[in-house]
Amino acid sequence: MSEQRPIDVVTARVKAVYSRWRRSTPIAQMRADWDELFGYMPDGVSVEPVRIGTLEAAWIGAPGAHADRAILYFHGGGFQVGSIRSHLELMASISAAAGCRVLGVNYRLAPEHRFPAPLLDAAAAYDWLLAQGFSPAQVALAGDSAGGGLVLSTLLRLRDAGRPLPAAAAVMSVWTDLTAAGASYETRREADPIHQQPMILAMAANYLGTGGDPTDPLASPLFGDLRGLPPLLIQVGDRETVLSDSEDFAARARDAGVAVELQVYPDMIHVFQQFPRDLAQARAAIAAIGDFLAPRFARRSLDED
């Protein structure tokens, strides 16, 4: 019998969690399961809890990470699961790759807190960073899946308010279209082992609530005016049903004059970067995030290390 490929091994682990969930499964159990799947603590990483108003947050620092710039990170999970814990390894890996600390935020989740609560929390976290003495040019945003969409919506909200924008942003398997109308929902339907259109639409409905508009650019940034956004890195797996969310957004951003780098990874699944111990492609993608973000930061005049 041939040995399983690493991508098949990690896919089976994710599917094993999903397969335990039923309509009757409490949301608290789903969140605990998701944290347990990904909650690995890398050696030597510092985790410094902080409070941003009522929000839990934490500075994640790989060994040698500098304090003169920061990455503000919003985790994925369909706006319903996910946390600092579930994304600790990914944030630590990005910290190492970019050479700076990452600020992870436990923004409010649905169904208890629907749109626009996460967007308000994201803006509050950005404001908190600036209040700590960082300039916008010393800050980048990053996120995956729903958190990647939150990154892009936050950029639109800041721009529309006339606020200075961060230096750059990097998103992974980004969810930009809550209508789930992209071509890849059909073209990748057989290839994607995890996420299908009915699941995506159900998560969108749970996030937006009754009467919510899935074409609101602050929920679905694909439908926004994208002019004036900072340089963007977009990574996505070629097997993903949300592939079009990345490809279509990148095309619209380029048309709007935004500097965009789109990286499509063959045979990869949704947020494959969460498996750096298992997948060489995850390690390569995280290194690319560091290579993209690191040269775009301004530096403080006095390093705080």
Cβ-contact 216, 223 below 8 angstroms: yes
Q: Are strands 168-172 and 232-237 parallel, antiparallel or unpaired?
A: parallel
CA distance 250 to 258: 9
Measured distance CA(101)–CA(233) in Å, rounded: 19
Cα-based torsion angle of the residue sequence 157, 162, 165, 170 in order, rounded to the nearest 10 degrees: 20
- Nearest 5°: the CA angle 167, 69, 56 is 100
Contact 11, 31 (CB under 8 A): no
Taking the C-alpha atoms of residue 180 and residue 197, their distance in angstroms, rounded to an integer, is: 7
Catalytic residues: 145
